[in-house]
Structure 1
Amino acid sequence: MDYIFVPNVELAIQFNQGFKTALVSSLEYIADELKDNPEFGIVLRTITSKIKKSTWIHPAVYGYYYELVFAAEAQAWDTFANTLQALQSLNIDLDIKPQDIEILDLFDSSLDSHRQLYLSHLNNESANQIDCDPLTKNQFQQFQELWQSSQESLIHFFPELLAEIQQLIRQLVLAVPSQSSGLHFHGASFFSLWGLLFLNPEPLTTQFDLLLTLAHEAGHSVLFGYSMNEPLLRNQDTELYESPLRQERRPMAGVYHATFVTARMHLLASRVLKTGWAESLGSSNTAVKETCQDLFHTFEEGLNTVKRFAQLTDSGASILARAESYMYQKK
């Protein structure tokens, strides 16, 4: 496989197809193995048939798939039945145009049936329980305007990134941590919720803020795509290391991801400087230059940790080498 560091829409399309093909294949295998529960197999084949015909698979389908697998392995058939029912009630195919991204408040009524699935992923990512508040109407409208203007800007100075984002992200869920929780996050994405991006709109006051966050999260999705068929590293999740983007120590997978997405953020900031778009995005050349410098030092910190302690596969090493090559040619 040719590992590409810069945004590439053809690669994003391959990732989407790969996730769909793997999902269908696995669900068909599970259905065939349900010989002692044939009624489950019938329902599962009906759901799989709908997935095959879908253009944009709802991210919750992937989340429920993993719950089905865990329930089947544990022979927890009541849980399996409940998860199967949740899948049946879900609109498998997102009803959106090819280049559209569905934007929702976490408390939108359309998420009622699978909000807990989404929240469970957010809370598994955090060391503490994340409590969220609904957005005000004004907050939601302001974000929509920022999102629209940011997309229009990308068309002019970095269309490749926009095209990639429009393939990797199908649903964008806005989540604002409650003040009482004292927790903060900018965004989150998950292998097991392919196509979904969580964003906290509160710290995103300029187009540059939003685009930097999108470059970060798209970078995670690219790594998820690359790791679809082969792990990028072999370290155990119980091994914790200093991470360049987190205060708490993280598994090596988290450090590796942070290092790669930092380079992707640097790529975005460098393009802003090169094309003279800093002020149009609500920033300044001076501020963006400082961001580039900070990102370079962050990348170096993560790279040093990865090189010292990571047990990289051939894929993991090749992908990191592409990021490293970009960062040091820029320096």
Structure 2
Amino acid sequence: MSATPSARATTPPDDTLYSFVPNPARAAFVDARMHQELAASLSHLAEATEDRPELSAPLAAAAGRLADGLRVGPEAFARYFHIASLLLDETPEALPEHIAALSAATRQPRPPRTTVPRGGAGEIDTLLDLRMGEDAANFAPSTGAAAAELAGRLAEGFALMQEALPDLHAELSAIVHRIVAAEGRKGAKTQFDGASHYQFWGLLLLNPAFHKTRLAIVEVLAHEASHSLLFGLTIDEPLVFNPDEDLYPSPLRIDPRPMDGIYHAAYVSARMAWAMETIAASGLLSAPEREAALEAAASDRANFASGLSVIDAHGDLSPTGAAVLARARDWIAA
């Protein structure tokens, strides 16, 4: 029992698909493809559980709604990954509860972008705990007041981005649909400022303790949108073929990282430099803001160079990884 997938979105030409600068058409394609892949994966799970119609039927129905063009929030994506993990771990007793939740998450279109606090994010809180285990403690509950304050700063940042960087604004709007304000783990040596994860397509976690100005908001949004974009570009193959257990020095972390993490850090640093240099030239910033943007861009360029040196020395890039990085390298060198 399976859904019949709708026609797949036409893949854009390479210069659009791998464009370094933001491209709204590419972002819309990536979002559509993520939903198509979710539909196909749910259809596969429906076939895998066809001996239990009470499980198979709602999975196939959810796949059908997605194949017909429904766009959903990060809850549906994360719930799929959890259901798949339950099947792989052969723990079917928990399936009915999670399939019912997935069915509910795929019955309504995703709402407009909202900002909510960790600890008050409903199903997202549950799924972060389920999918991340002990690591979920790195994203501690925040307060409604902190989330509201962050939402206000986000509104200022989005408004500036829409005027100064309209293509980045369109790219982000196509990809990010839920923002959760979360605090860092108490007593930790390092604190996260922003995070995203491929299993939670459309979700962005931000720490309200950071990003205190509209310019800082633009920079972190450029950072996290770039991570999400890379997730969307790597459905068919990874960015790098280096084993995850092989670790290398990172330009943005004090601890060694897998090559995939080094690649992500380098790429998002280049895109942050693009955002800061472009917005500095927009004429929309005050003199202090322009100076801060150029300082940030210089730091971002240095981080890209540091990451690139590690990639060039040790990276085993896939064709996708090579195509994406080549365009980032070209922009930096221009």
Decide: shared fold, TM above 0.5.
yes
What letter matches 1:305 in structure 2?
V
Of 227-236 and 286-295, more deviation after overlay is shown by: 286-295
Distance in structure 2 (CA, Å) of the matches to 1:122 and 1:265: 27
Give the one of 197, 217, 241 matched to 1:190: 197
- How many residue pairs are counted as aligned between the two chains? 319
Of 115-124 and 68-77, more deviation after overlay is shown by: 115-124
Distance in structure 2 (CA, Å) of the matches to 1:222 and 1:34: 32
- Residue equivalent to 1:130: 138
Distance in structure 2 (CA, Å) of the matches to 1:123 and 1:206: 32
- Residue equivalent to 1:105: 117
Deviations 1:241-263 (A, max 9, x none): 11111111111100000000000
Deviations 1:42-87 (A, max 9, x none): 1212332343456431211111111222222232211333321332
Distance in structure 2 (CA, Å) of the matches to 1:41 and 1:71: 15
Post-superposition offset of 1:297: 1.1
Of 245-254 and 86-95, more deviation after overlay is shown by: 86-95
Residue aligned with 1:246, SS: coil
Distance in structure 1 (CA, Å) of the matches to 2:124 and 2:93: 18
Distance in structure 2 (CA, Å) of the matches to 1:37 and 1:199: 40
Residue aligned with 2:108, SS: coil
Change (3 A) 1:279 1:301: same
- Does residue 71 in structure 1 map to residue 95 in structure 2? no
Distance in structure 2 (CA, Å) of the matches to 1:178 and 1:233: 30
Of 150-159 and 256-265, more deviation after overlay is shown by: 150-159
Report if the CA contact (8 A) 2:185-2:191 is conserved: no
Post-superposition offset of 1:197: 0.8
Identical-residue share of aligned pairs (%): 26
- Residue equivalent to 1:271: 278
Residue aligned with 1:198, SS: strand
- Does residue 115 in structure 1 map to residue 125 in structure 2? yes
Report if the CA contact (8 A) 2:180-2:206 is conserved: yes
Change (3 A) 1:314 1:91: closer
Distance in structure 1 (CA, Å) of the matches to 2:270 and 2:133: 27
Report if the CA contact (8 A) 1:135-1:176 is conserved: no
RMSD: 2.1
Distance in structure 1 (CA, Å) of the matches to 2:143 and 2:271: 29
Distance in structure 2 (CA, Å) of the matches to 1:289 and 1:147: 21
Report if the CA contact (8 A) 2:115-2:148 is conserved: no
Report if the CA contact (8 A) 1:51-1:92 is conserved: no
Report if the CA contact (8 A) 1:56-1:170 is conserved: no
Give the one of 2, 11, 20 matched to 2:35: 20
Residue aligned with 1:202, SS: coil
- Residue equivalent to 2:210: 203
Residue aligned with 2:281, SS: helix
Distance in structure 2 (CA, Å) of the matches to 1:174 and 1:141: 9
Post-superposition offset of 1:89: 4.2
Distance in structure 2 (CA, Å) of the matches to 1:131 and 1:17: 29
Report if the CA contact (8 A) 1:133-1:178 is conserved: no
Residue aligned with 1:153, SS: helix
- Residue equivalent to 2:258: 251
Distance in structure 2 (CA, Å) of the matches to 1:264 and 1:119: 31
What letter matches 2:37 in structure 1?
A
Of 146-155 and 166-175, more deviation after overlay is shown by: 146-155
Distance in structure 2 (CA, Å) of the matches to 1:71 and 1:121: 11
Distance in structure 1 (CA, Å) of the matches to 2:132 and 2:196: 9
Give the one of 6, 22, 28 matched to 1:7: 22
Give the one of 282, 298, 304 matched to 1:293: 298
TM-score, length of structure 1 as denominator length:
0.89
Any runs of at least 4 consecutive aligned residues in structure 1 with deviations exceeding 6 A, and if so which? Answer: none
Distance in structure 2 (CA, Å) of the matches to 1:113 and 1:69: 18
Post-superposition offset of 1:41: 0.7
What letter matches 2:62 in structure 1?
I
Give the one of 237, 252, 262 matched to 2:244: 237
Of 209-218 and 229-238, more deviation after overlay is shown by: 229-238
Deviations 1:260-300 (A, max 9, x none): 000010001101221133328xx433332222221111111
Residue aligned with 1:284, SS: helix
Report if the CA contact (8 A) 1:233-1:312 is conserved: yes
Give the one of 166, 174, 177 matched to 1:170: 177
Distance in structure 2 (CA, Å) of the matches to 1:131 and 1:190: 13
TM-score, length of structure 2 as denominator length:
0.88
What letter matches 1:319 in structure 2?
V
Deviations 1:155-197 (A, max 9, x none): 2211111111100101111112254455411111111111111
Post-superposition offset of 1:322: 0.4
Report if the CA contact (8 A) 1:54-1:93 is conserved: no
Report if the CA contact (8 A) 1:122-1:188 is conserved: no
Of 320-329 and 230-239, more deviation after overlay is shown by: 230-239
Report if the CA contact (8 A) 2:193-2:210 is conserved: yes
- Does residue 145 in structure 1 map to residue 152 in structure 2? yes
